[in-house]
Structure 1
């Protein structure tokens, strides 16, 4: 992913009785909304989003309570918790302070009950326990992040079984730490291996097979998902059709098609290509994976809640596809909304992708109009839904999240009119 202290980036209560936790799951599992059987048509596209573990350190802070307060948790079908680490041949808690130790005051707690300093189980994961009790049908998935070299080592035949067992014991059996047990908190595992080399292809498939076997044995209905790059060619030698038979969802990282690594402005995540455009598109990525044998119903279109910018951009073509000096890093959509008011909004007729340009500074991002266009494409192609990176970068009211939900569940509703999104003052 991007813009966070996360290995996806190439640049980003009440005390629970221990005896109860040790003996029974916190809730009964409900059937998955999408199965591995490609012939099983999904009722409607899914809305999934990554929740940032590091939101506690953001300014302003972003917590599970924030997501619940704006109604965001109730419109999600699935929330991927980013992140767990893959290090030293095992899965591990990536940030013990954020996950287990942070003491939430009452105003930041999902149930309005403050954590006690001597409480054994605190942090984000305890907040997720409380969220799960409020919304038992919301799927919670743990996202495994690790360096490619770590995954490659862990997937070796001599290491594979022990590695997989460690992940299942920690997150699916819920043995989070000594004295802390939360069986049933997570409904599955999301694997983000960026990226297996050709010599890893066989082990990549074998690793997924090991996860699938042990997860099915533990509890039927657990979800095994993968996040993948924007082209199957990034997985040389990997049989994507075989991968798709093992996993429930294939999350496409259909963003970062252009950004600060380029000296030329462009779109971060265009649906379709227009003349003069460099880089990939959502449409090309989707069709490439379908050609590679992945059922359309398992493909989730990645949706960025952030944007990229350049300055000292020439005024030709209103700044689009022009040379400029890149602005380091990304900006969350909540910040770009403020910039929009001082700039002119333009829109690509083909993909409805927006950009803003003030004669010097250029920004590329997503907005409710471009999200609606992608939602229409998802419905037309019978795709699995949206995968958002990441929820904490939205506005304080969840403008983009609610636009995505409305466009998926009510295709006939104009999401641009349903939100307070700024109306483009110019169109291209």
Structure 2
């Protein structure tokens, strides 16, 4: 988990049908607000995909530490935009399906205390996040798209209206509808349905630097 204070843009399941963007922005200081408006504060934590390895920080630790009960949102970091401008999932650079939904989690490290079976369509972190939500009604899980090493193709993806719609459609298919690449018994249409409630855009950074190789354009910010 890593603490962050920033303005975020998210879009959720309500946008699925129309492929639109529902903006939920954290109000900034001095921003205009309707009379009597009281913004609802969110408590958001990041769960890093790779933390299950060297750090040995499992989704179960969010529950046993009491952290999940204190959060309104968990951002799963990170989803990747591929060279085609769409959400990337499966055996491709920047993606780790083993951690996401293939790896069997045993009973000792599972949120619900039940180990994954060989014929489950969903295992790994995604299934553990589903179990975490079941234990914490009201907790929302977002896929955090981009990050330091996954933002190279943001600029290419969003520079046109058609590109933006293609990106949104692919994210909805992969994360909201839960259509995952088949990997043995894992994955398939709807395998991860109900895990993610929306998408957190973590573009690092529009129009300015970022990781080596990132595509940068002056019009990125607008």
Q: What's the TM-score once normalised by structure 1's chain length?
A: 0.37
What is the aligned counterpart of 1:160 among 161, 164, 177?
Answer: 164
1:194 counterpart residue number? 204
Aligned to 1:131: 132
Residues 1:104 and 2:101 are matched in the alignment: no
In structure 2, the residue matched to 1:92 is: 88
User: Are the aligned partners of 1:82 and 1:144 in contact in 2 as well (CA < 8 Å)?
Assistant: yes
1:66 aligns with 2:67: no
1:170 and 2:174 are equivalent in the alignment:
yes
Distance between the aligned counterparts of 1:147 and 1:127, measured in 2? Answer: 23
The 3-state SS of whatever aligns with 2:153 is helix
Residues 135 and 149 (structure 1), Cα distance of their counterparts in 2 relative to 1, 3 Å cut: same
Aligned residues: 173
- Equivalent residues of 2:127, 2:195 under 8 A apart: no
Task: Indicate yes or no: 2:42 matched with 1:42.
Answer: no
Q: Runs of 5+ in structure 2 lacking a partner?
A: 3-23, 90-94, 183-187, 209-215
8 Å CA contact retained: 1:121, 1:180: no
1:81 corresponds to:
76
Give the deviation of 1:55 after TM superposition: 1.5
C-alpha deviation, 1:185, in angstroms: 2.1
- The two structures have a TM-score, normalised by structure 2, of 0.68
For 1:12-411, list aligned pairs within 5 A. Answer: 38-39=33-34, 40-43=37-40, 45-59=41-55, 61-88=56-83, 89-93=85-89, 94-145=95-146, 147-157=150-160, 158-178=162-182, 179-181=188-190, 182-197=192-207, 200=217, 202=219, 204=220, 238=222
Structure 1 vs Structure 2 CA RMSD: 2.7
More helix by share: 1
Larger Rg: 1
Give the direction of change, closer, same or farther, for the CA distance of 1:120–1:147 in structure 2 (3 Å limit). Answer: closer
